Chain A
Amino acid sequence: MQAATTPRAGSALVPEHPLEDLIRSDRIPHIWCPGCGIGTAFAATLTAMKSSGIDLHKTCMVSGIGCSGRAAGYVKLDSFHTTHGRAIPFATGLKLGNPELNVVVFSGDGDLFAIGGNHFIHAARRNMDLTVICLNNLNYGMTGGQVAATTPHLARTTTTPSGNPDAPFNLPLLAWASGATYVARWTVLHTRELTESIQKAITKSGFSFIEVLGPCPINYGRRNREKALQTLKLYRERTIIRNHADPSDLDVDFTKQVILGEFVDKERPTCIENYDKTCRLPE
């Protein structure tokens, strides 16, 4: 086996990593902790972008603040790391300014659903042609593991040492109710399904939303007695794939069962189509 590991990757003998052309390899190893799920979800996004056949010169990635927000800095495409919670408004502007672009928003649950919650529901309501990928690690990882809008009931965090008294958001239900045209949920363990789903979402017009459950071993996992591998085993044992399930059944509660799959796949006129039809009348 030494023969495979000693020569440098990219040399004549050893082919490069298949995503080497899409990552800024001078910044790798990235800042994400050992066992963090963001890297896997990010790799799935890049693979999906590549295999979907879209023009990558006309593809942009936008992220907000947080661990997942760093993704925009690692992709070798036009990308923007916006202020906290404002990934979707920035992406909306990008899309309206140049409707030819494929805009992918890659951000975390805190960014998209806590400070950016309003932007999310309104972009979904207008059916902006965006692909929103939300890495849900169930807490505010970057700032030290505080309780977030997605922290499960009774889960321990830095700010809820005796357990979270509140109920979390059901993200696919929120997206469905706001009018998203594509809604799916996977975990980082279901990478193949996730990649296929992202590919579908990128090629589909309209507001697509994909929730990716990923472990946060350092902040969430440590306080809830879950090592990174244990979280992945939980994903294997406590999840069930049920496409087109009722969105109100999709709560994330790992003491019971978590439903994964594709929940919404419908057509609706996009924001730009509706605007052109209403406000840009033929002369």
Chain B
Amino acid sequence: MEFWRVPLDAQAIEISRGEVHVIEDRCKGCGYCIEFCPRGILAFSARFNKKGYHPPEVLQPKSCVNCHYCEIICPEFAIYSVDLSSLQPPGL
């Protein structure tokens, strides 16, 4: 994010990062996660799932801030995000 002036506590604020996971065969293509992602990082993919819907895919994986909104708005239990720091095995 670009600031016109760097906030005084910019060094102290830690931006969380997440990784989005999609269980594609559960998706019914309602598009809620795509529409309401505050970072706008999701889009319909071109491929079909088992039921014939287009599941979402992550366009900019690095922009996810792990807010979980896609997870809680999804009516299908099909998308969720996990904290990236807890995912990386130690030593990497």
Tell me the A residues contacting B by CB distance below 8 Å: 1, 4-5, 9, 14-15, 17-20, 23, 25, 28-30, 32-40, 42-44, 47, 188-189, 191-192, 195, 228-229, 232
Q: Give the interface size class of chain B.
A: 20 to 34
Whether A34 touches B53, Cβ cut-off 8 Å, given contacts A1-B61, A29-B25, A229-B31, is: yes
Chain B 49-87 near chain A by CB (<8 Å), digits 1 or 0: 001010001110100000001011111110010100001
B32 part of interface (Cβ distance < 8 Å): yes
Main secondary structure of the interface of B (DSSP, over half): mixed
User: Which residue of the partner chain, among A4, A32, A38, A228, contacts B22 with CB atoms under 8 Å?
Assistant: A4
User: Which residue of the partner chain, among A15, A19, A34, contacts B82 with CB atoms under 8 Å?
Assistant: A15
User: Residue of A at shortest CB range from B31?
Assistant: A229
6 more A-B contacts (CB under 8 A) besides A35-B32, A44-B72? Answer: A4-B21, A5-B22, A9-B21, A28-B76, A191-B72, A195-B72
B51:A29 contact, CB within 8 angstroms? yes
A35: B residues at CB distance < 8 A: 28, 30, 32, 75
Tell me the B residues contacting A by CB distance below 8 Å: 19-26, 28-32, 35-36, 51, 53, 57-59, 61, 69, 71-77, 80, 82, 87
User: Residue of B at shortest CB range from A192?
Assistant: B72
